[in-house]
A and B are shown apart, each in its own frame.
Chain A
């Protein structure tokens, strides 16, 4: 009857989003008066989950799960949910979790609400608040099925420390060959750099930077802040930056705590994709740029002067506040 949470890892290391969904699951468990069971796949240091309220961890270690596989991963979670008699399953908004959750929903005959931004507002009927209309509105969704799946938006609930035993228990689901109809040939992934999905801070730049050769300062600013780098659509269309960095309605969604936009005018399609970010800073030479209407803080000025100053001042700030 416990709340089940899928705590994702990357190269064996639990992701920040794993701790956030664990925090969320603990809140749901408190509301329902039950415990939290996490599922990890090929992850190490699962005891850390105890700090966020996890009571038990079902650890899965399997070679055939080394690469992500939507159906196989969904099957692992389905079997875990059934073993635990879970009525609520919590997942993150990572690319992988968003991919497996619909399969899991079919397997468990469960209603699934994605992009959930707050703890359930009611447990009967089970009601959650989620974003809709590409961050232009919220909707309250009731999940009416017996088993419910909640996909928590990145950085929406935050990390909440709690104590839990996080007792590890090895879990060996049976995985039929038929689940492996998609075979991964190659993963091309930047290592050692925070991803847009996982980042607390995203530094994004647009056509105002005039050319790809000027991205050094964007990367340096991102380094200082431990941020991910992103770009506007025209920049990826022009080939100045890789497509994977494009954020906006048709690119990657951003829900960071801080979003810094440099030389981006703020077209509505761009804003739609980044609006879930909590604090937005815009740096632009044009005081009429629409982004200023959507931002919390703004600097009207030349990026080539403002950004280097910002980098220097931030370095001082970090040195003084380390």
Chain B
């Protein structure tokens, strides 16, 4: 089984979010970038398929050269090779088209992407990719078993979960549940050394239009200080929620 894991290069959750150039660009100054958490759950599940079922695992990212350390980290965790499509990842549809080209050419059986990236939160790349390569699609996937070309997947739905049967080729939008947080791997020194020698191929982006443009960013208005209510005066809390916040 050939697996392709899509890796987004995103600011660490604790990063300060600021913008530059008249609020049109994300300010990367001092920001630490990581593998998108939803992708990391998928990558870890892919490692399981590699170790237990002999799958090969490639990782891919659409981005500039600055995203390579993130791909190297995925290699250090255990992926076999990395592909970087050299283009700025600004529009989900554009990114999906780039991934689709590589996925088709590489003949991958299973493509694992995160349900969304924690920067743009578009949540569209996995579904678009599935459509573009004519593969089956399970989003918000919290469990995946593969047997030959048959797949059993569980997805989280509003208010519960849904189990389905499908077949390869398959694209999933993965999330926590595919593996648990405690299963995530921190690259060890041997992994990091080996990652340096693993192939990282850079391919040119194909010409594809951009259907959306993020034109401007804005930070939420600063929040006022919390209003503290005495624990002995819960009536006041109810009154505030009713009269001031108007939520009950």
A interface list, Cβ under 8 A from B: 67-68, 70-71, 74, 94-96, 98-103, 105-107, 109-115, 127, 129, 131-145, 181-190, 193, 195-198, 200-201, 225, 233, 237, 243-244, 246, 249-252, 257-258, 268-269, 272, 278-279, 281-282, 292-302, 305-306, 309-310, 313-314, 317, 321
Q: Is the CB of A137 within 8 A of B121?
A: no
Please measure, in the bound complex, the distance between the C-alpha atom of A201 and the C-alpha atom of B19, giving whole angstroms. Answer: 32
Q: Is the CB of B127 within 8 A of A99?
A: yes
Q: Is the CB of A197 within 8 A of B158?
A: yes
Q: Using Cβ atoms and an 8 Å threshold, which residues of chain B touch A294?
A: 223
Q: Is the CB of A141 within 8 A of B159?
A: no
Q: Using Cβ atoms and an 8 Å threshold, which residues of chain B touch A279?
A: 241, 245, 247
CB of B11 closer than 8 Å to a CB of A? yes
CB of B137 closer than 8 Å to a CB of A? yes
A140-B215, A143-B211 in contact; A114/B156 too (CB < 8 A)?
no
Query: In angstroms, how far is the closest chain A Cβ from the Cβ of B116?
Result: 8
Sample (24) of A-B pairs whose CB atoms are under 8 Å apart:
A102-B130, A103-B127, A103-B130, A103-B131, A105-B128, A106-B96, A106-B131, A132-B214, A135-B220, A137-B17, A138-B219, A140-B216, A140-B217, A141-B215, A143-B211, A144-B213, A188-B163, A195-B158, A201-B247, A250-B181, A296-B223, A296-B245, A297-B228, A301-B231
Please measure, in the bound complex, the distance between the C-alpha atom of A111 and the C-alpha atom of B212, giving whole angstroms. Answer: 6
Q: Is the CB of A306 within 8 A of B231?
A: yes
**B81-89, B164-172, B189-197: which lies at the A interface?**
B164-172
Q: Is the CB of A300 within 8 A of B228?
A: yes
Interface centre among B38, B159, B175 (most CB of A within 10 A): B159
Q: Using Cβ atoms and an 8 Å threshold, which residues of chain B touch A186?
A: 162-163
> Other CB < 8 Å A-B pairs besides A140-B217, A313-B235, 18 of them?
A70-B137, A94-B158, A96-B158, A98-B123, A106-B96, A111-B212, A112-B122, A181-B167, A187-B161, A187-B162, A243-B177, A258-B247, A268-B14, A281-B241, A296-B226, A298-B227, A299-B230, A306-B231
CB of B104 closer than 8 Å to a CB of A? no
**B45-53, B66-74, B138-146, B198-206: which lies at the A interface?**
B138-146
**Chain B, Cβ-Cβ closest to A187:** B162
CB contact list, B20-52 vs A, under 8 A: 26, 37-38, 41
Interface centre among A67, A132, A317 (most CB of B within 10 A): A132
Query: In angstroms, how far is the closest chain B Cβ from the Cβ of A134?
Result: 5
**Chain A, Cβ-Cβ closest to B38:** A250
6 pairs of A and B residues whose beta carbons are closest in the complex:
A102-B127, A301-B231, A111-B211, A189-B160, A195-B159, A106-B131
Q: Is the CB of B19 within 8 A of A137?
A: yes
Total residue contacts A-B, CB cutoff 8 A: 271
Which single member of B119, B156, B241 contacts A132 (CB below 8 Å)?
Answer: B119
Please measure, in the bound complex, the distance between the C-alpha atom of A189 and the C-alpha atom of B27, giving whole angstroms. Answer: 42
**Chain A, Cβ-Cβ closest to B11:** A133
Which single member of A135, A144, A181 contacts B166 (CB below 8 Å)?
Answer: A181
Please measure, in the bound complex, the distance between the C-alpha atom of A140 and the C-alpha atom of B93, giving whole angstroms. Answer: 17
Q: Is the CB of A295 within 8 A of B241?
A: no
Q: Is the CB of B161 within 8 A of A188?
A: yes
A258-B241, A310-B234 in contact; A106/B128 too (CB < 8 A)?
yes
CB contact list, B100-141 vs A, under 8 A: 118-128, 130-132, 136-140
A111-B211, A186-B163, A237-B180 in contact; A297/B245 too (CB < 8 A)?
yes
Q: Is the CB of A306 within 8 A of B139?
A: no
Q: Using Cβ atoms and an 8 Å threshold, which residues of chain A touch B229?
A: 297-299
Q: Is the CB of B124 within 8 A of A139?
A: no
CB contact list, B141-158 vs A, under 8 A: 142, 153, 155-158
Q: Is the CB of A139 within 8 A of B218?
A: yes
Q: Is the CB of A317 within 8 A of B212?
A: no
Please measure, in the bound complex, the distance between the C-alpha atom of A310 and the C-alpha atom of B177, giving whole angstroms. Answer: 34
Please measure, in the bound complex, the distance between the C-alpha atom of A144 and the C-alpha atom of B91, giving whole angstroms. Answer: 11
A102-B127, A114-B124, A183-B165 in contact; A299/B231 too (CB < 8 A)?
yes
Q: Is the CB of B216 within 8 A of A95?
A: no
Please measure, in the bound complex, the distance between the C-alpha atom of A183 and the C-alpha atom of B155, giving whole angstroms. Answer: 12
Please measure, in the bound complex, the distance between the C-alpha atom of A299 and the C-alpha atom of B237, giving whole angstroms. Answer: 8
Query: In angstroms, how far is the closest chain B Cβ from the Cβ of A298?
Result: 5
Q: Using Cβ atoms and an 8 Å threshold, which residues of chain B touch A314?
A: 238, 248
Q: Using Cβ atoms and an 8 Å threshold, which residues of chain B touch A143?
A: 211-212
Q: Using Cβ atoms and an 8 Å threshold, which residues of chain A touch B237?
A: 281, 297, 299, 310
Q: Is the CB of A299 within 8 A of B137?
A: no
Q: Is the CB of A102 within 8 A of B158?
A: no
Q: Is the CB of A137 within 8 A of B218?
A: yes
Q: Is the CB of B123 within 8 A of A106?
A: no
A71-B137, A113-B212, A137-B219 in contact; A250/B163 too (CB < 8 A)?
no
Please measure, in the bound complex, the distance between the C-alpha atom of A132 and the C-alpha atom of B136, giving whole angstroms. Answer: 28
Q: Using Cβ atoms and an 8 Å threshold, which residues of chain A touch B132?
A: 106
Q: Using Cβ atoms and an 8 Å threshold, which residues of chain A touch B165?
A: 182-183, 185
**Chain B, Cβ-Cβ closest to A269:** B13
Please measure, in the bound complex, the distance between the C-alpha atom of A22 and the C-alpha atom of B218, giving whole angstroms. Answer: 27
Q: Using Cβ atoms and an 8 Å threshold, which residues of chain A touch B215?
A: 127, 139-142
Which single member of B153, B155, B175, B228 contacts A299 (CB below 8 Å)?
Answer: B228
Q: Is the CB of A99 within 8 A of B140?
A: yes
CB of B240 closer than 8 Å to a CB of A? yes
